[in-house]
Structure 1
Amino acid sequence: MEILIPEISILEKIVRPMLVYFFLLLAFRLAGKRELGQVTPFDLIVLLTISNVLQNAMIGPDTSLGGGIVGALTLFVMNGILSRLTFRFPGLARWIEGKPTTLIENGHIVEKNLRREVMTLEELQRAMRKHDLEWHELGRIKRALLELDGSVTVQLRNG
């Protein structure tokens, strides 16, 4: 039955995942929207490495089944609480998730927003092609937004 008994206190098993959860929330918020929607092989390597490092930080010396269940349950509860809070308080949701970023406005590229999101013109062109638009058709675009999930949505002008 030792497999079920955590080697560290239950309180520590709860606090460690909570701290990691908040760290990751902040880290992904600072990473930007583009990083969430476009995972390159390099990004995948970083994510896998981070998950291994943080897994060790979450469990500490405890490898018991009971400790793992407490840690996982803590993460599920944290996520559920945060989901409900962001639903109830839209201002909190905007602070945590951010808001869409305008990349093109009335056929003109908003270069300061591209720089802020660390998005190249080539990436913007690629996003336009996904909407069957070529670079010379920039004037047809009323607005293009970098959404919270990293995707780009395009609204065309009327007529």
Structure 2
Amino acid sequence: MEKWLFIDWRGIFVPSISVLELIIRGSLVYLALFSVLRLLPSRQIGTLGITDLLVVVLFAEAAQNAMASNYTSITEGGILVGTVIFWSYFLNWLGYKFPKLRFLNPPPLLLVKNGRLIERHLQQELITEDELMSKLRQQGVEFLAEVKFAYMEADGSISIITSDSKTTSITEQKQNY
């Protein structure tokens, strides 16, 4: 009965391994997963952003380990979560400050230009013509000839500009609101 009410406060808050080791482990895992996810074709990710997915997975893992005592203190879980937050913010900041680092923020990939498929880009992203046509139909486009441009965005979504799209300036759009 006495063991049920005993709380090991030291075990809860004092890390059982080096804080520096935790930071290095968290950094290596985050950067490795980030790199692997960047190398996968965008269609594998869907509409969830890569860093969003990575942060959620690593947060869950770090928090789960802290709660399940795989490592023994809450402090260790907090350090790992803080490390993940740091790398997520830092890589987003780096991509913002240095847009030429395409690895961090890849540009949209042109899939269709003036009604013609760009086969090489479809193959690169592992998208079949049927899959692309499905995405076009979901956005109300029946024929490929109606498409002026179709892009695979960095998050895996496909944006479409049709031939009959009206072009309006940002100023005109603001006036309409």
Confirm or deny a common fold (TM above 0.5).
yes
Residue 131 (structure 2) aligns with:
123
Residue 115 (structure 2) aligns with:
107
**Is residue 17 of structure 2 the alignment partner of residue 8 of structure 1?**
yes
Deviations, residues 114-155 of structure 1 (Å, cap 9, x unaligned): 110011112101110111112xx2111111101111111111
Distance 1:74 1:158 in 2: 48
8 Å CA contact retained: 2:112, 2:118: yes
Q: Report SS of the residue matched to 1:91.
A: coil
8 Å CA contact retained: 2:22, 2:80: yes
**Structure with more contact order per residue of length (Cα contacts < 8 Å, sep ≥ 6):** 1
Instruction: Indicate the RMSD between aligned Cα atoms, in angstroms.
Output: 2.5
Distance 1:118 1:97 in 2: 20
8 Å CA contact retained: 2:47, 2:155: no
Distance 1:27 1:74 in 2: 19
Residue 40 (structure 2) aligns with:
31
Deviations, residues 42-92 of structure 1 (Å, cap 9, x unaligned): xxxxx9xxx59x948x98x52311100111011111111122111111112
Residue 163 (structure 2) aligns with:
157
Percent identity over the alignment is 32
| Runs (4+) off by over 6 Å | none
Residue 144 (structure 2) aligns with:
138
Residues 38, 77 of structure 1: alpha-carbon distance in 2 compared, 3 angstrom cutoff: closer
Matched to 1:84, the amino acid is: W
Q: Report SS of the residue matched to 2:150.
A: strand
Residue 153 (structure 2) aligns with:
147
Q: Compare CA radii of gyration and give the structure with the larger one.
A: 2
- Correspondences of 1:69-88 after superposition (within 5 Å): 69-88=78-97
Measured after TM superposition, the shift of residue 158 of structure 1 is: 4.0
Matched to 2:123, the amino acid is: R
Distance 2:72 2:128 in 1: 44
Residues 38, 121 of structure 1: alpha-carbon distance in 2 compared, 3 angstrom cutoff: farther
Matched to 1:20, the amino acid is: V
Unaligned runs of 5+ in 1: 40-46
Matched to 2:147, the amino acid is: I
8 Å CA contact retained: 2:38, 2:103: no
8 Å CA contact retained: 1:29, 1:97: no
Residues 132, 158 of structure 1: alpha-carbon distance in 2 compared, 3 angstrom cutoff: closer
| Larger relative helix fraction | 1
Matched to 1:97, the amino acid is: N
Aligned residue pairs, count = 144
